Chain A
């Protein structure tokens, strides 16, 4: 049975697209069928990460508008990455006119879009659907969260991110009764260097969040310097970042 996971954050720059795309790749490599959909219609990023040209007929925007079926918007990248499981991506139209158009749609359009997202469960023949959402409270992100089985809230240890995450959990996730996991990214390495430091950080997070902590990923300079148009976890399987994500993938398989 398909599981829908929304990757969300209170603010931009937490690394959720990087985490979502690499986790999707790891699961596909393990033989799982995965569809990774770009739900950040105001600032799409997956077209760049996966290097897809802009001369396509249909984008996810077209699917939400009811202009095509979901299969017509998907790009099969299984062969390109040589994964054992089917690896599909759905892209948001990165052109400025498309972003402008979706910013001006009305509530009726958004209502129909929500129903189309809910229909993905029946229409997409995969094990995992990852929805890489826009940060904060926007229609596309709330639509994704309302339609998902599990939300992964990605945050840094920045106070603004943490407090924003708490607000989102209280006002949004609780309202839709969504199961939520917290993933901390870009943690200061020195805080994780010792057992005591790690314990203190986890204690701080436990006091702030009642939701389970999925993982705490340190900030890696080599990751920041890497080419964003590659899948880091596949290219550098021995890197600690890839190791953490494999652990996360395992937990997601077990929890779903």
Chain B
């Protein structure tokens, strides 16, 4: 039987967003393991983990926390040699006066200290994998991993983290980017927040900044346990679907209501009957784009006779509604219909 106090400790660890994202990535990776890579200065590092934290020491610290909580186990996967003086792993062989390489003598490439088989340091390096026993206990608390699994079952191809380039040229990171069968036919983005307390509205605001720039077809903010009332209002205003819940079962149940199957997350047809259903101001913008095929807001403005800023706003509305797409070509921001 698991001690209640240890389970409480594990639950606390799992209320950390980085832990959830990390475990989501681990479970979605092919090897289901975090392997180190060689680094001349530090000896080794875990680049996948560093994407979530500040740097290599913090990455190792996070991994160790999960080992201590019994979620991950670490196993030796090799050893590296390093300088006994400065700890650097960059070693170079010495040369004779004739320029030939000498036997087994080495110099530290960082501090120049002479290194021999007698004084060289050996250090074990580890890979990290899910602790099979610990995983059984926590599987109900793995939010991101469960959401990825849910999306894949709906037919999406998922990336976690996923990246989308915005109108500004900035590449934005989402916790999950999901595509249907055709990657050009729009996508769904999902951000995730887990906390011990009610999540602040800043989370909705920061997601909106990314969504505004990248205009995905569907944006979902998953929050556990809940978000402030202002956060709810902002998400609704920003057309971000909000999913709140204290546990993963509730989250998945609510997520099922806002996530359609992958083949339905696609651009909508802008046929004449749809045009008729649009408000007048959007209809003339859409018709002008239909005639042009591909155009900037300025080019559409010359057709409709309205100001460029007005057309830009209308075109962006049509993008958010899923009728047209937006992309960059060099410095130009173009809009076009979708086949």
Closest chain B residue to A106, Cβ basis: B269
Contacts of B280 in A (CB 8 A): 175
Q: Is A114 an interface residue (CB 8 A)?
A: yes
The interface stretch among A29-37, A138-146, A155-163, A237-245 is A138-146
Judge whether A139 and B272 touch: CB under 8 Å. Answer: yes
Looking at A118, A175, A177, the one whose CB has the most chain B CB atoms below 10 A away is A175
Q: A110-B271, A139-B271, A175-B283 are in contact. List 8 more A-B contacts (CB 8 A).
A: A107-B271, A107-B274, A110-B272, A115-B293, A115-B337, A142-B272, A171-B276, A176-B275
Measured between C-beta atoms, what is the minimum distance from A149 to chain B in Å?
12
Contact code string B263-292 (vs A, CB < 8 Å = 1, else 0): 000000111111110001001100100110
Judge whether B269 and A107 touch: CB under 8 Å. Answer: yes
Q: List 27 A-B contacts (CB under 8 A).
A: A106-B269, A107-B274, A108-B269, A108-B339, A110-B271, A110-B272, A110-B273, A111-B269, A111-B271, A111-B337, A114-B290, A115-B290, A115-B293, A115-B337, A118-B290, A118-B291, A121-B291, A139-B273, A142-B273, A171-B276, A175-B275, A175-B276, A175-B280, A176-B275, A176-B283, A176-B287, A177-B284
Contacts of B270 in A (CB 8 A): 111
Measured between C-beta atoms, what is the minimum distance from B52 to chain A in Å?
41
Closest chain B residue to A177, Cβ basis: B284
Measured between C-beta atoms, what is the minimum distance from A254 to chain B in Å?
25
User: A118–B291 Cα gap in the complex (Å)?
Assistant: 6
Tally the A-B contacts, defined by beta carbons under 8 Å: 46
With known contacts A146-B287, A177-B284, A112–B339 Cβ distance under 8 A: yes
User: A142–B274 Cα gap in the complex (Å)?
Assistant: 11
Contact code string B324-339 (vs A, CB < 8 Å = 1, else 0): 0000000000000101
User: A118–B276 Cα gap in the complex (Å)?
Assistant: 17
Judge whether A146 and B274 touch: CB under 8 Å. Answer: no
* A interface bracket (residues with beta carbon within 8 Å of B): 10 to 19
Contacts of A114 in B (CB 8 A): 271-272, 290
Which residues from chain B sit less than 8 Å from chain A, CB to CB? Answer: 269-276, 280, 283-284, 287, 290-291, 293, 337, 339
Contacts of A177 in B (CB 8 A): 284
Measured between C-beta atoms, what is the minimum distance from B285 to chain A in Å?
12
User: A188–B275 Cα gap in the complex (Å)?
Assistant: 38
User: A112–B274 Cα gap in the complex (Å)?
Assistant: 13
* Choice from A106, A108, A121, A146 contacting B275 with Cβ under 8 Å: A146
Measured between C-beta atoms, what is the minimum distance from B21 to chain A in Å?
37
Q: Is A172 an interface residue (CB 8 A)?
A: yes
Contacts of B272 in A (CB 8 A): 110, 114, 139, 142-143, 146
Closest chain A residue to B284, Cβ basis: A177
Contacts of A106 in B (CB 8 A): 269
Contacts of A121 in B (CB 8 A): 291
Measured between C-beta atoms, what is the minimum distance from A122 to chain B in Å?
10
Measured between C-beta atoms, what is the minimum distance from B188 to chain A in Å?
20
User: A232–B293 Cα gap in the complex (Å)?
Assistant: 41
User: A175–B291 Cα gap in the complex (Å)?
Assistant: 17
User: A66–B276 Cα gap in the complex (Å)?
Assistant: 24
Contacts of B276 in A (CB 8 A): 142, 171-172, 175
Contacts of A108 in B (CB 8 A): 269, 271, 339
User: A56–B275 Cα gap in the complex (Å)?
Assistant: 34
Measured between C-beta atoms, what is the minimum distance from A69 to chain B in Å?
16
Measured between C-beta atoms, what is the minimum distance from B89 to chain A in Å?
58
Contact code string A160-181 (vs B, CB < 8 Å = 1, else 0): 0000000000011001110000
Contacts of A143 in B (CB 8 A): 272
User: A111–B275 Cα gap in the complex (Å)?
Assistant: 10
Closest chain A residue to B278, Cβ basis: A175
Closest chain A residue to B293, Cβ basis: A115
Measured between C-beta atoms, what is the minimum distance from A168 to chain B in Å?
12
Looking at A108, A112, A143, A172, the one whose CB has the most chain B CB atoms below 10 A away is A108
Contacts of A146 in B (CB 8 A): 272, 275, 287
User: A175–B286 Cα gap in the complex (Å)?
Assistant: 13
User: A102–B269 Cα gap in the complex (Å)?
Assistant: 17
Contacts of B293 in A (CB 8 A): 115
User: A110–B275 Cα gap in the complex (Å)?
Assistant: 12
Closest chain B residue to A172, Cβ basis: B276
Closest chain B residue to A115, Cβ basis: B290
Q: Which of A20-64 contact B (CB under 8 A)?
A: none
Measured between C-beta atoms, what is the minimum distance from B323 to chain A in Å?
10
Measured between C-beta atoms, what is the minimum distance from B115 to chain A in Å?
68
